Amino acid sequence: MSLIMAHQQLHFADHCLINNFKFGDTPLFHKDAPGTPSSQTFMVYPNRCWNKNWGGFTAFADDDDDVIAVAAPRPGRIAIFPGTVAHTGVAPTKVHQGYGRFSVAFQDPDG
Protein backbone atom coordinates (compact mmCIF):
# COMPACT_ATOMS: atom_id res chain seq x y z
CA MET A 1 0.00 0.00 0.00
CA SER A 2 1.13 3.53 -0.70
CA LEU A 3 0.95 6.34 1.80
CA ILE A 4 -0.39 9.74 0.77
CA MET A 5 -1.23 12.90 2.70
CA ALA A 6 -4.38 14.78 1.79
CA HIS A 7 -6.67 17.26 3.50
CA GLN A 8 -4.77 16.97 6.82
CA GLN A 9 -5.64 13.25 7.02
CA LEU A 10 -3.56 10.17 6.34
CA HIS A 11 -5.02 7.83 3.72
CA PHE A 12 -3.92 4.56 2.20
CA ALA A 13 -4.40 4.26 -1.53
CA ASP A 14 -5.86 0.94 -2.68
CA HIS A 15 -4.25 1.08 -6.11
CA CYS A 16 -1.05 2.55 -7.45
CA LEU A 17 -0.46 2.65 -11.21
CA ILE A 18 2.66 3.76 -13.05
CA ASN A 19 2.21 4.98 -16.62
CA ASN A 20 4.89 5.62 -19.23
CA PHE A 21 3.43 7.05 -22.44
CA LYS A 22 5.60 7.33 -25.52
CA PHE A 23 5.09 8.86 -28.96
CA GLY A 24 2.45 6.84 -30.82
CA ASP A 25 0.68 5.47 -27.73
CA THR A 26 -3.11 5.83 -27.74
CA PRO A 27 -4.47 5.80 -24.18
CA LEU A 28 -8.26 6.09 -23.92
CA PHE A 29 -10.59 8.12 -21.70
CA HIS A 30 -11.62 6.23 -18.58
CA LYS A 31 -12.87 6.70 -15.02
CA ASP A 32 -10.82 5.29 -12.16
CA ALA A 33 -13.83 4.62 -9.91
CA PRO A 34 -17.14 5.05 -11.76
CA GLY A 35 -20.12 5.09 -9.42
CA THR A 36 -18.00 5.92 -6.34
CA PRO A 37 -18.51 9.65 -5.68
CA SER A 38 -16.16 9.79 -2.68
CA SER A 39 -13.18 8.34 -4.57
CA GLN A 40 -10.08 10.42 -5.32
CA THR A 41 -7.13 10.00 -7.65
CA PHE A 42 -3.78 11.62 -6.89
CA MET A 43 -1.72 11.84 -10.12
CA VAL A 44 1.97 12.62 -9.65
CA TYR A 45 4.24 13.61 -12.57
CA PRO A 46 7.81 12.49 -11.71
CA ASN A 47 9.66 13.46 -14.91
CA ARG A 48 12.73 15.55 -14.08
CA CYS A 49 11.98 18.06 -16.82
CA TRP A 50 9.19 18.71 -19.31
CA ASN A 51 8.64 21.12 -22.18
CA LYS A 52 5.14 22.19 -23.24
CA ASN A 53 6.01 21.33 -26.86
CA TRP A 54 6.38 17.69 -25.86
CA GLY A 55 2.62 17.31 -25.21
CA GLY A 56 1.94 14.50 -22.74
CA PHE A 57 -0.78 16.33 -20.82
CA THR A 58 -3.71 14.74 -18.99
CA ALA A 59 -7.12 15.67 -20.42
CA PHE A 60 -10.33 15.70 -18.36
CA ALA A 61 -13.83 15.39 -19.87
CA ASP A 62 -17.32 16.14 -18.62
CA ASP A 63 -20.37 13.87 -18.95
CA ASP A 64 -21.00 15.27 -22.47
CA ASP A 65 -17.53 14.04 -23.56
CA ASP A 66 -16.22 17.59 -23.91
CA VAL A 67 -12.64 18.18 -22.76
CA ILE A 68 -12.99 20.68 -19.93
CA ALA A 69 -9.44 20.86 -18.56
CA VAL A 70 -5.89 19.71 -19.15
CA ALA A 71 -2.95 19.33 -16.79
CA ALA A 72 0.57 19.68 -18.14
CA PRO A 73 2.96 17.09 -16.69
CA ARG A 74 5.24 19.60 -14.96
CA PRO A 75 7.88 17.95 -12.79
CA GLY A 76 6.53 17.33 -9.29
CA ARG A 77 2.97 18.40 -10.10
CA ILE A 78 0.17 16.55 -8.34
CA ALA A 79 -3.29 16.56 -9.91
CA ILE A 80 -6.08 15.56 -7.52
CA PHE A 81 -9.48 14.73 -8.98
CA PRO A 82 -12.57 12.59 -8.28
CA GLY A 83 -12.36 8.99 -9.50
CA THR A 84 -15.67 9.58 -11.30
CA VAL A 85 -14.11 12.07 -13.75
CA ALA A 86 -13.25 10.79 -17.23
CA HIS A 87 -9.62 11.45 -18.12
CA THR A 88 -6.81 10.25 -20.34
CA GLY A 89 -3.12 10.67 -20.70
CA VAL A 90 -1.94 12.04 -24.03
CA ALA A 91 1.19 10.60 -25.60
CA PRO A 92 4.20 12.86 -26.05
CA THR A 93 4.78 14.47 -29.43
CA LYS A 94 7.39 13.29 -31.90
CA VAL A 95 9.62 16.16 -30.75
CA HIS A 96 10.13 14.46 -27.36
CA GLN A 97 13.29 12.34 -27.35
CA GLY A 98 13.26 11.11 -23.73
CA TYR A 99 12.10 7.93 -22.07
CA GLY A 100 8.45 8.96 -22.13
CA ARG A 101 5.90 10.81 -20.03
CA PHE A 102 5.64 9.17 -16.64
CA SER A 103 2.83 9.47 -14.14
CA VAL A 104 2.06 7.67 -10.91
CA ALA A 105 -1.63 7.43 -9.98
CA PHE A 106 -2.67 6.69 -6.41
CA GLN A 107 -6.34 5.70 -6.29
CA ASP A 108 -8.21 6.11 -3.00
CA PRO A 109 -11.78 4.75 -3.18
CA ASP A 110 -12.71 6.34 0.16
CA GLY A 111 -11.60 9.87 -0.74
Q: Following CA atoms 42, 48, 52, 53 in sequence, which dihedral angle do they give, to the nearest 10 degrees? A: -130
| CA dist., res. 67 & res. 51, Å (int) | 21
Give the per-residue pLDDT at 58.
97
> pLDDT-based confidence at 110, cuts 50/70/90?
confident
Give the per-residue pLDDT at 12.
58
> pLDDT-based confidence at 13, cuts 50/70/90?
low
Contact 58, 27 (CB under 8 A): no
- Examine the pLDDT at 84 and tell me if it is beyond 50: yes
Using CA atoms, how far residue 32 sits from 12, 86, 107, in Å, is: 16, 8, 7
- Examine the pLDDT at 49 and tell me if it is beyond 60: yes
pTM of the model: 0.84
- Examine the pLDDT at 30 and tell me if it is beyond 50: yes
